[in-house]
Amino acid sequence: MQESGRAGRGGQLSRATLYFNKSDIAANRQGITDEMRRYCKSDDLCLRLLFVKHFGFSETLFEGEKKNCCSSCRNDE
């Protein structure tokens, strides 16, 4: 497992790709919270919003086009 890095600093574009399988997020897997499972399995919620809320920020910090920040939002268009 690799944590998200510091790509995209200073307003630069970056991309994060999440690869997982069902055993990675199994309900009995230690260290994986329900919030993490929800993030992995979501295809209809804004992933950026879930990510920033996890760190205590609000959606009011959202700037820019959603399609550039989230694959779920890009698929909605």
Q: What is the pLDDT of residue 66?
A: 66
Integer Cα distance of 51 and 57 in angstroms: 9
What confidence tens digit (pLDDT) does each residue in 56-69 have? 877 655 566 666 77
Phi-psi region at 63: left, alpha or beta (left = phi > 0; alpha = psi -120 to 50): beta
What confidence tens digit (pLDDT) does each residue in 18-63 have? 788 888 888 877 888 888 888 888 878 888 888 778 788 776 555 6
